[in-house]
Structure 1
Amino acid sequence: MLCANASGVSKIDTALQKKILLMFRQDQKWRIESDKINNGKSSAYDEATINKNMAKTDSLNMMEAKLIIKKHGYPGYNLVDTSGSNAFWAIIQHCDDDVAFQQQALTLMSREIKRHNANGEDYALLQDRVLVNQGHKQLYGTQVRIDLKTHHAKPFPIQDSLQVDKRRKAVGLIPLQDYLKIFEPKQ
């Protein structure tokens, strides 16, 4: 399949794209089941089974993602199309057990961002995830927690919080207050 992108026309590696999309489906399967339980809905699995399978899937996906990065670098649009590149980012987001690997992927993704070959919003989310995982303040306010008393979403600490919406807009993110509303309990 030929695909037009910022650097011209290239051939999509459909086998790699399919592999990444399969990894992503497995990643999402357990998160969807977890969300069902967390929202009081019924699931075919108990919480322990979900958590065990999510951890196993994340571990297997991380091993495969490391091989993909070693062979291809960060798979951008020109290699695996938009769907494959965005799915790969989601897999990297869930590699919290290896923050150094997330940082490596972020560095490689940064190069693809400069070539308009990856998603700027995804980059911001991964950047914040890495910073929070390293114990630093985030840049874009994408990493949030739910306050157990108020049930409202609050971002983890943000660097230069007065400029956060300016940074968010530059990468295509909605204003922070609108973003936080997404996490509010459904009435």
Structure 2
Amino acid sequence: MKRIVLTLVFLNSLLAFAQTDIALKDSLAKMVIWDQKVAGFQPEHKIDDPKRKQFQDSVFTSHYGRLQKILSDQGYPGFDLVGKQGSRDFWLLVQHLDKWPDFQQKVLDEMKKQVLKKNASSGDYAYLTDRVRLNTSRNQLYGTQVSYNTDSCQAFPRPTENLESLNKRRKEVGLDSIEEYLNKMSELHFRMNKDNYENRGIKGPKLYVLENKKTSLIKR
């Protein structure tokens, strides 16, 4: 009996692997490498050429065309098609296509179908929701997109609906509290701009107080 069960588990694993589109998964991973280079999120990959913006636009435009075809052919690539990392790679690439908010909205609509089936990340869906809303002149829902008070190195959410219930909405999609998130973003921002801040006498980011997880953001 044990042998039969183990055989079935093995066959199911093989079937799941066979259904994964390895070529698409690998293609998305390669696109992300270029995305991160031109987006400048990895300092060692920054491009300092004066024509960097032009090059960035050309990469994003190329990705836009390829992602359009993937969405048309496959719908939103969920965990079952490209694995968790592949699905996240597709989402990340779409996040940076701010020049095409209509396409981002199409992706969001398709992504929602997969999220409801637990075949895509609800947290990533929240980030893209905020991106689309801001790109179409609406307030965000989850506070994921931030700006910084550069006098204190403190992150704060860009225009957001109803701050009083913000943490409730974030919890529903699996995100940590807004205060915890903003503190992480503030710390990251300080590390990335440490020399600049220290030259101005700022030794660290200003953080929000976390008191029993109660919202202190509104009283900022």
For the aligned pair, the TM-score class normalised by the smaller chain equals: 0.7 to 0.9
Q: Establish whether residue 164 from structure 1 lines up as the match of residue 182 from structure 2.
A: no
Q: Establish whether residue 11 from structure 1 lines up as the match of residue 13 from structure 2.
A: no
In structure 2, distance between residues paired with 1:134 and 1:28: 24
In structure 2, distance between residues paired with 1:139 and 1:87: 23
1:99–1:133: 8 Å Cα contact kept in structure 2? yes
Q: Which of 121, 127, 133 is the matching residue for 1:125?
A: 127
CA drift of 1:183 comes to: 2.2
Residue 107 of structure 1 corresponds to: 109
User: Taking structure 1 as reference, are residues 96 and 134 closer, same or farther at Cα in structure 2, changes over 3 Å only?
Assistant: same
In structure 2, distance between residues paired with 1:180 and 1:14: 36
In structure 2, distance between residues paired with 1:174 and 1:55: 33
Overall identity of the aligned pairs, in %: 32
CA radius of gyration, larger in = 2
Count of matched residue positions in the alignment of Structure 1 and Structure 2: 177
Residue 33 of structure 2 corresponds to: 25
Structure 1 unpaired stretches of 5+: 37-41
SS of alignment partner, residue 156 of structure 2: strand
Q: Establish whether residue 92 from structure 1 lines up as the match of residue 94 from structure 2.
A: yes
In structure 2, distance between residues paired with 1:73 and 1:142: 25
Structure with a larger share of its residues in helix:
2
TM-score, normalised via structure 2 length? 0.74
Structure 2 unpaired stretches of 5+: 1-10, 192-203, 205-220
Q: Which has the higher contact order (CA 8 A, sep 6+)?
A: 1
Instruction: Write out aligned runs for 1:54-93 (5 A).
Output: 54-93=56-95
CA drift of 1:172 comes to: 1.1
